Amino acid sequence: MTLTGAQIVIEALKKEGVDTIFGYPGGSVIPLFDALFTEKDIRVIVPRHEQAGGHEADGYARSTGRPGVVVATSGPGATNLVTAIATAYMDSIPLIAITGQVRTNLIGTDAFQEADITGITYPITKHNFLVKDVKKLAKTIKEAFYIATHGRPGPVLIDIPSNVFNEKTEFSYPETITLRSYNPTYQGNPKQIEKAVKMIKESKKPVILAGGGIIASNASDELREFVRKTGIPITTTLMGLGAIRYDDPLYLGWPGMHGTVYANYTLMESDLLICIGARFDDRVTGKTSDFAKHAKIIHIDIDPSSIGKIINTDLPVVGDAKNVLMEINKYFEKPLEIETWINQINTWKQNYPLKYKDDENVIKPQYVVEVINKITKGLKTIFTTEVGQNQMWAAQFIKLERPRQFLTSGGLGTMGYGFPAGIGAQVANPDATVIVFAGDGSLQMNIQEMATVKNYKLPLKVIILNNSYLGMVRQWQELFYEKRYSGVCLSRDITCPKECKGKECTKYWPDFVKVAEAYGLKGYRIQKKQDVEKVLKEAIIDNKEAAIIDVIIAKEENVMPMVPAGHPINNIIEKY
Amino acid sequence: MENLHIISVWVENKAGVLSKVSGLFASRGYNIVSLSVGETEDPEISRMTIVVEGDDRIIEQVKKQLNKLIDTIKVIDFTKKSCINKEFCYIKLNIKNKDITELTTICQVFGAKIIDIGKKTITIELVESDKRVNEFLKLAENFGIVEIARSGTVAIAEDEK
């Protein structure tokens, strides 16, 4: 079968099981969009900005486990993808970015809309390709999907010059592929596993630290079995949220800068830390030289370069989390005898619970999250967050039951991620109630996507925790910069006095309800605590369409507890 | 210099691979002392010899990160394996109004060849280990070095005896 390059891309995507692409047209990808015009098996979602398209594909990928696909044109279209690709790279998300490029004979001539996107994205992709020969297109797409989804997943970019889309060749898609240069290790070394089991059985104060690797390898069931069989307490990183149910008695929440006090104490006092699919990010470890000083470290990861990068490891196990846990689980029949340790942890849990000071006169953001727990009970929910305080409050208080239920930009911390990621998740899961926790700052980084929500009639719910501040930066300025609120008030205009009124100021800008209405969406505003539950129910449960809900929250509420950056994680500030 | 490590990397012989490797060093903050690259017995594979500066922990990460690149086929660290390694070097010295008898003696000792003599300069070709090249350059300094071109180290494993 002789096909054009554009048709080959589409046929190859179908072979990979792709049913949706997020794509923004432009000069060099016109041939591809032309071929998509009559295509029935692939749905095209057109965002309003390529960055958002990238995050939408990312949300699609995180919520389903299947690679997300985004298409952009050459030059600015491609460079607009950079933040979305970097976000996916930091969180190990399988993303396929297809970019148009100028014609092959124009490459390197500073042609119109030319950018060296493979050069630009080397450090933020797992791999990338420039395909100059249409005969290599099908094989390259196969390789790209293989690389994106095997081993530690990640984004792969395929740059295709516009003439390659138009050139014709015989299409045949390879069924399987082997790359001599890429063979990730899936099975853990049996000897290392035996050693790990011995270390676990000998430990008196063990703790599990599980990360995004559990979600990536769909190892949640195996992890839960490991916890049940051994009785070892477990903390998950932000990326590992949902790997274990929120109400599991052995679950400690997440550790680190804004994690629970008891998770941090447990890590610091443990004698054995079993790290599975996590990478000891600085937001988790705090001061590394003080981190879990008394603990031996077992590190299970599919990416050898994660092991020993930050924290010295006593026992490395390279392998896929699911396979390694299945093997380890075979060695355990009865729980470890660690009552003293569990009692100690339970005392910490009782003494230092996750809490906030509620107030009848203002709306506390944590209260909003709790109301969401209440009104969405029993529904199939997916939550996404923007970045900053909204992200931390959501992550602290939301009750998660399953993996892929909570999507957040953990590594890169990308403001503007949550809203489009929610769109991607809603497209992939039409039956789910998808709720975006946003801040008034971060929502504005991709606010144009309200048009996408409207166009595709997505019943997405966006909750803006609106304090009119870039709240997390303001919190740092309050705690570490003598309340010098530089650049963080989003309502501040040139008529404002130099010394602003801070909390007392009633200026809010923009009017998100009007913005929603301008895009043809329903807008809601909540200003009183007694209205929170009623309006959220109306907007999220009764209303079957999209809703933009502007919740005016306590202006200077802080995320607590907090470990100052670079401090040991048991050095905790608690100001409520 | 202390803490120098010779690493050989086999990579797919494709456009862009060299920039991926060198970009990795830049983005992770590792120091490349020298890097040389050429085809192997298999024209689809290139071999790079990279001399890196760093402690064991850094070298461990360098190797892991190199292995992580999709185009990398194999990485060998010669820190703890014996290898034969040499560097190719051209040295141009100022000889105007100078007696070169001493220089020719030095060249003989190092096995260096004088390959060009002009009105003002003399050009020497030297194939030696990095350490020996540095020693030679130190002695040559007295003659006034005009220009140097060094290839960077290439290395190959020594066979068992």
- Same domain? A200 vs A331: yes
* Residue where a domain stops, chosen among B33, B60, B77: B77
Q: Mutate one of B9, B28, B67, B68 to test the A interface: name it (highest A CB count within 10 A).
A: B68
Q: In this structure, is residue B140 part of a structural domain?
A: yes
* Mean pLDDT value of segment A466-475: 97
- Tokens read off for A102: 């100028």
B29 part of contact set with chain A, CB < 8 Å: no
- Same domain? A306 vs A369: no
| Confidence (pLDDT) at A500 | 78
Q: In this structure, is residue B15 part of a structural domain?
A: yes
Q: Mutate one of A90, A149, A288, A305 to test the B interface: name it (highest B CB count within 10 A).
A: A305
Q: Helix, strand, or coil here: B66?
A: helix
B68 part of contact set with chain A, CB < 8 Å: yes
Q: In this structure, is residue A356 part of a structural domain?
A: no
- Tokens read off for A576: 């409520």
Q: In this structure, is residue A558 part of a structural domain?
A: no
- Same domain? B68 vs B93: no
- Same domain? B45 vs B97: no
pLDDT band at B2 (very low <50, low <70, confident <90, very high): low
Over the stretch A1-55, which tens digit does the pLDDT of each residue have? Answer: 999 999 999 999 999 999 999 999 999 999 999 999 999 999 999 999 999 999 9
* Residue where a domain stops, chosen among A311, A329, A351: A351
Nearest-Cα distance to chain B for A563, in Å, is 27
Nearest-Cα distance to chain B for A129, in Å, is 9
- Same domain? A402 vs A314: no
* Parent domain of A30: 2-170
Contact A126 B23 (CB under 8 A): no
Which residue shows structure tokens 């006095």?
A497
Q: In this structure, is residue B161 part of a structural domain?
A: no
| B95: DSSP letter | -
A2 part of contact set with chain B, CB < 8 Å: no
For position B43, which CATH number holds? Answer: 3.30.70.260
Over the stretch B98-145, which tens digit does the pLDDT of each residue have? Answer: 788 989 999 999 999 999 999 999 999 999 999 999 999 999 988 899
Contact B70 A305 (CB under 8 A): no
- Same domain? A346 vs A372: no
For position B124, which CATH number holds? Answer: 3.30.70.1150
Q: In this structure, is residue A175 part of a structural domain?
A: no
Contact B23 A179 (CB under 8 A): no
Report the alpha-carbon distance of residue A277 to residue A92 in Å, rounded.
Answer: 11
Nearest-Cα distance to chain A for B38, in Å, is 18
For position A252, which CATH number holds? Answer: 3.40.50.1220
Number of domains composing chain A: 3
Report the alpha-carbon distance of residue A494 to residue A38 in Å, rounded.
Answer: 52
- Same domain? B11 vs B68: yes
For A501, other C-beta atoms within 10 Å of its C-beta total: 10
Report the alpha-carbon distance of residue A418 to residue A398 in Å, rounded.
Answer: 15
For position A147, which CATH number holds? Answer: 3.40.50.970
* Mean pLDDT value of segment A462-473: 98
> Residue B1: pLDDT above 60?
no
Q: In this structure, is residue A479 part of a structural domain?
A: yes
* Residue where a domain stops, chosen among B77, B107, B142: B77
* Residue where a domain stops, chosen among B58, B77, B96: B77
* pTM for this entry: 0.96
> Residue A390: pLDDT above 70?
yes
> Residue A223: pLDDT above 80?
yes
- Same domain? B22 vs B47: yes
> Residue A532: pLDDT above 80?
yes
Over the stretch A86-142, which tens digit does the pLDDT of each residue have? Answer: 999 999 999 999 999 999 999 999 999 999 999 999 999 999 999 999 999 999 999
- Same domain? B89 vs B149: yes
> Residue A504: pLDDT above 90?
no
* Parent domain of B125: 84-153
Over the stretch A516-525, which tens digit does the pLDDT of each residue have? Answer: 999 999 999 9
- Same domain? A391 vs A296: no
Q: In this structure, is residue A254 part of a structural domain?
A: yes
Which H or E element spans position A538? none
pLDDT band at B88 (very low <50, low <70, confident <90, very high): very high
- Same domain? B91 vs B68: no
- Decide: A217 and A322 in contact? Cβ < 8 Å: yes
Number of domains composing chain B: 2
